[in-house]
Structure 1
Amino acid sequence: MLRRVKIPNLSQLKSRSQLRTILSNTGWLFADRMLRMGAGLFVGVWVARYLGTEQYGILNYGLAFVSLFTPIFTLGLDDVVIRHLVRESSNKEEILGTTFGLKLIGGIVSVLLVVGSILFLETNKILTIWLVTILAITGIFRSADTIDLWFQSQVQSKYSVIAKNIAYLLSILIKVALILSKASLIAFAWVTLGEIVIGAIALMVIYHIRGFSRLWNWRWNLSTAKSLLRESFPLIFSGFAILIFMKIDQIMLGQMKGDGEVGIYSAAVRISELWYFIPTTIVSSLAPSIYAAKEKSEYHYYKRIGQLLRLLTYISLMISIPMTFLSKYVVAIMFGSGYANAGPILAVHIWASLFVFMGVATSPWFVAEKLNHVSLGKTLFGAILNVILNFLLIPGYGGVGAAIATIVSQAVAAFFSNAVDRRTHKLFKIQIHSFLPFSPN
């Protein structure tokens, strides 16, 4: 008897092909982050041990200070541009050219603002001023990340991974050489700048070799620029607020407790934030499919958001629970006895990951619903709360107080605020359901 063979229809084949593409893209991004996590953590710890708490504190203070100005050279464009490229890939030369121009202008402005601010705040700290100035110049060369946005929109992040890891591995080798040759602190800032420059060149070369289009065919369009900025404008301020969450604690610790305290706190935060690549990697691969689902089916759109939230919530809990009890030993093994006080800080700060993962998971929803202004309001409120709590807790509790401030402010902005806003009630319910092992349809 002949057996009937079921032939999948075209939509099934297309769906399977899209799934394979997403999984492949996610695999490349995870490989990238795993490489950075492994090599970067090893060399980063070596650098921390080599520099000691004081100079390591200065380095991280400088990195945190420069990062606060990141929204000026990114202009909040990334998610908005990816969505436009998904919908209007035939118009990519105009979108990419305009985005590159905006990011280049933003990079130049950010350098001027960073240098002016550090000169005003740290008048007598010449080493800090030079270090921050060198790190600030990276903003100009990050305009080449426009190419990365195209790769993300096409779910082809492997090309960005290859380009950026060429630069990253070179920087790792140079940092090892600097440690062995007993180089000064300022040399490590130059390596950071060099990595960004080489990565930008590698992105351009790979984009050209793959023949996606000629870079010189990119074109600027003023009306496109205005349109993109109108959408991204709330995200610029949201980006500031997010970075206040992530970095203001180190800056306030430096101002209120000194560079040594920043060094100890930075060691704990380095381990705690080590895992943040997980949500960003997963969401960068899944966001295009969420935007596409929004156009076709509301049911599948919310189903994908729910699945994403549940996945990231569970991953964050799997990290936070064991790290709470093992933090003292992890710090001792990695950083040595000089950083012993980072253990209690890590045990507290690690719980911020639960709300960070949630916040990243919900970001495509705010973009797809065109509620960036709502996201901005929640994030700004959380950022202000973070500053206030840092001001109240750091004098008495130091790094532990800064960690508590981070958790509370992240929880309010990414989770609890959605319960009191009728526009985000549905999202809050999905967040609640993400703690359950099943979807309560």
Structure 2
Amino acid sequence: MSSVAAFLQPKLPMLRLLAGSISSLAIGVLAQAVAFVLLARYLGTTQFGELTTISAVTALANTWCGFGPGEVLRRIVSRDASDYPEALGHTILMILITGIVLTVLLIGGMLMFPPPDGGIGSAERLQILLLLVPINVMFPSFFNLVENVFLAHGDFRRGNFINGGSGVARALAAVVACGLFGVTSLRDWALWWAAVHLAIGVICVIMIRRFGLPRWNILRREAWLGGNLAFSSFLIMLRHNVDVLVLSAVTSPDFVGVYGAGRRLIGAALVVPGAFDRVIYGKLAVAGKNGARASLRLATKYLPYSLLISAATSVGLFLVAPYASLVFGHAFAPASDVIRTLAWTVIPTAVQFLAFDALNAAEHHKVSTIVSGVTNTVGALMVVLLGSTYGTVGIYVALYFSDLARGGGLWTALNMLAGGRQSAQTRAERS
């Protein structure tokens, strides 16, 4: 027992941070689920369908907003806290510039394709888009930035509060708007949605004022690195949605709903390995300042912990899969098979997270983007080809292949960069 205590004692601070991160992320996921259930019941199929479409499109656009502002700020400030004003000014400007451009493009594009059923008038739809699009595109990036301000300064408690608190505030807005005020119009809900986000935004500004004011400038090098990260994030999200699109073409709508429920639970479980990466990224950023070799050394040290955490999560998913109908309803009982089949994708995904963050921490965003882009594109094509030919079995095979290929590619790239730098240093020492 004494040896076990000696082993665990130095790891207790990180375990506490990990538990706090998992809790805050889980609260956010749960709150989001509560809000969607309420809105589906009160808005009805037509308006909820319109809301789902807007949410999906703006989620893709959000991957470009700010060019990964949270990662940029945390990497810079974790290395040198005195660079905080420049990092804050750069990231806020990038959110505003890219957010405005994306908002204009999305509203213009979505107005060209009105809903086929005509359930919402054109004037009302324009009002809805003017409220929802800028909020959905820009504010998640700003909240992520504020969260990373606290994480970069080692204040995980307030960072977790921003992450979990914003999700709870959204859920409470749905409860109050629908449950107390009887909101049944998407336009009215858009007003509530915009108001709660503006309120959270004001609170965020007040909370980070103590760290100092921003210095307004664009860091061109960081804009380039962030652009690579945004492109990679976009491809990841696109790949994660292509399986649903293929299923909608080769299976019944009922199974698409069942599959979507199972995938939602798998996505919620990724909170666990994601929380671990969230805790250690600051250390990776500091190590990455010395190049890919130092970043690889630290990532390799954390790899066993990542494998252990993700494996435990996969086992947990497999064990709770038979009870899926208790969460989603009796009609979703077949989701148990989806969960059991895809539960083990959590492990290669966690391995990807670690290598991806290690590359970005060493400022090799271009490499991580190329590797992720190629593997995600190939994976998406495999989902389309195998899914169209073999149905769900083909999709499962393609998803596992894609996850393993991306993880293997990222770790191979990290090892090659580390080996290349070591060879260069050896040649320099000999000369």
* TM-score normalised according to structure 2 size: 0.78
Alpha-carbon separation, structure 2, partners of 1:333 and 1:53: 23
Partner of 1:431: none
Q: State the 1:274 CA deviation.
A: 0.6
**Aligned CA distance change for structure 1 residues 364 and 143 (closer, same or farther; 3 Å):** closer
Alpha-carbon separation, structure 2, partners of 1:189 and 1:251: 27
Q: State the 1:220 CA deviation.
A: 1.4
Alpha-carbon separation, structure 2, partners of 1:192 and 1:357: 33
**Aligned CA distance change for structure 1 residues 193 and 346 (closer, same or farther; 3 Å):** farther
Alpha-carbon separation, structure 2, partners of 1:240 and 1:137: 18
Partner of 1:136: 133
| Contact kept? 1:313, 1:357, Cα under 8 Å | yes
| Contact kept? 1:63, 1:132, Cα under 8 Å | no
| Contact kept? 2:70, 2:141, Cα under 8 Å | no
Q: Deviations over 1:28-85 (max 9, x none)?
A: 3233123334544556566668889998776555433322222221313432332211
Alpha-carbon separation, structure 1, partners of 2:130 and 2:389: 32
**Aligned CA distance change for structure 1 residues 54 and 332 (closer, same or farther; 3 Å):** farther
3-state SS, counterpart of residue 376 of structure 2: helix
Superposed, 1:239-388 pairs within 5 Å as: 239-253=233-247, 262-294=256-288, 302-324=296-318, 326-327=320-321, 329-388=322-381
Q: Partner amino acid for 1:278?
A: V
Alpha-carbon separation, structure 2, partners of 1:115 and 1:397: 38
| Contact kept? 2:348, 2:404, Cα under 8 Å | yes
3-state SS, counterpart of residue 211 of structure 2: coil
Structure 1 alignment gaps of length 5 or more: 1-15, 428-441
Alpha-carbon separation, structure 2, partners of 1:189 and 1:395: 37
Residue 384 of structure 2: which of 387, 391, 397 is its match? 391
Alpha-carbon separation, structure 1, partners of 2:19 and 2:92: 27
Alpha-carbon separation, structure 2, partners of 1:249 and 1:55: 24
Superposed, 1:111-122 pairs within 5 Å as: 111-120=103-112
Q: Deviations over 1:145-187 (max 9, x none)?
A: 3333321211213223334544432322333355647754736
Partner of 1:9: none
Structure 2 alignment gaps of length 5 or more: 1-9, 421-431
Superposed, 1:424-435 pairs within 5 Å as: none
Residue 221 of structure 1: which of 207, 217, 222 is its match? 217
Superposed, 1:52-63 pairs within 5 Å as: 60-63=52-55
For these two proteins, the number of residue pairs brought into alignment is 402
Q: State the 1:228 CA deviation.
A: 1.1
Q: State the 1:334 CA deviation.
A: 0.6
3-state SS, counterpart of residue 72 of structure 1: coil
3-state SS, counterpart of residue 104 of structure 1: helix
Q: Partner amino acid for 1:152?
A: L
Residue 78 of structure 2: which of 82, 86, 96 is its match? 86
| Contact kept? 1:167, 1:195, Cα under 8 Å | no
Residue 25 of structure 2: which of 33, 37, 48 is its match? 33
3-state SS, counterpart of residue 318 of structure 1: helix
Alpha-carbon separation, structure 2, partners of 1:415 and 1:424: 14
Q: State the 1:204 CA deviation.
A: 0.9
C-alpha RMSD over aligned residues: 3.8
**Aligned CA distance change for structure 1 residues 113 and 283 (closer, same or farther; 3 Å):** same
Q: State the 1:304 CA deviation.
A: 3.1
Q: Deviations over 1:397-428 (max 9, x none)?
A: 6666545433322221122564589726979x
Partner of 2:3: none
Alpha-carbon separation, structure 1, partners of 2:58 and 2:270: 19
Alpha-carbon separation, structure 2, partners of 1:288 and 1:421: 18
Q: Partner amino acid for 1:240?
A: F
Alpha-carbon separation, structure 2, partners of 1:371 and 1:388: 26
Alpha-carbon separation, structure 2, partners of 1:36 and 1:322: 20
Residue 101 of structure 1: which of 89, 93, 112 is its match? 93
The sequence identity of aligned pairs, in percent, is 19
3-state SS, counterpart of residue 73 of structure 1: coil
**Aligned CA distance change for structure 1 residues 413 and 55 (closer, same or farther; 3 Å):** farther
| Contact kept? 2:31, 2:167, Cα under 8 Å | no
Q: Deviations over 1:218-255 (max 9, x none)?
A: 22124x2x121122232121111111122333455557
| Contact kept? 1:390, 1:405, Cα under 8 Å | yes
